Amino acid sequence: MKEAAARACISESLVYQWIADGTLPHFRVGAKGKRGKILIEVEDLDGVMAGFKVGKPEPTVAPAPKPVKPPQPVLRHMRLKP
């Protein structure tokens, strides 16, 4: 745990939390029914850390403005006198 925490610059408790909630894949080596030793592969730790990387957001393209329709003339019924 210490090595994984030091490599990722995080606390050991956060490593344990990631293991408990399934975020960080690991191996538990030891007798059945006992706690055993937890082993973490470097690639798995690097993969989890890469998932947290925040980069520059991609520039969003503004949607094209809707075409402006010309105003429609107002038509009224007219009564014609004979």
Asked if the structure places residue 56 within a domain, the reply is no
Q: What is the pLDDT of residues 36-58, one digit of tens each?
A: 899 999 999 999 999 888 887 77
Record the pTM.
0.60
Q: How many domains does the chain have?
A: 1
Question: Quick check: is 75 in a domain?
Answer: no
Model confidence band, residue 33 (pLDDT cutoffs 50, 70, 90): confident
Q: What is the pLDDT of residue 77?
A: 80
Q: Report if residue 6 sits inside a domain.
A: yes
Residue 82 in any domain: the answer is no
Asked if residue 26 is part of any domain, the answer here is: yes
User: Distance (Å, rounded) from C-alpha 15 to C-alpha 27?
Assistant: 13
For tokens 């090595």, what's the residue?
A: 3
Report yes or no on 22 lying in a domain: yes
CA atoms within 13 A on the CB side of 49: 15
Contact 14, 5 (CB under 8 A): yes
**Domain residues for 38?**
2-51
The answer to the question of residue 40 being in a domain is yes
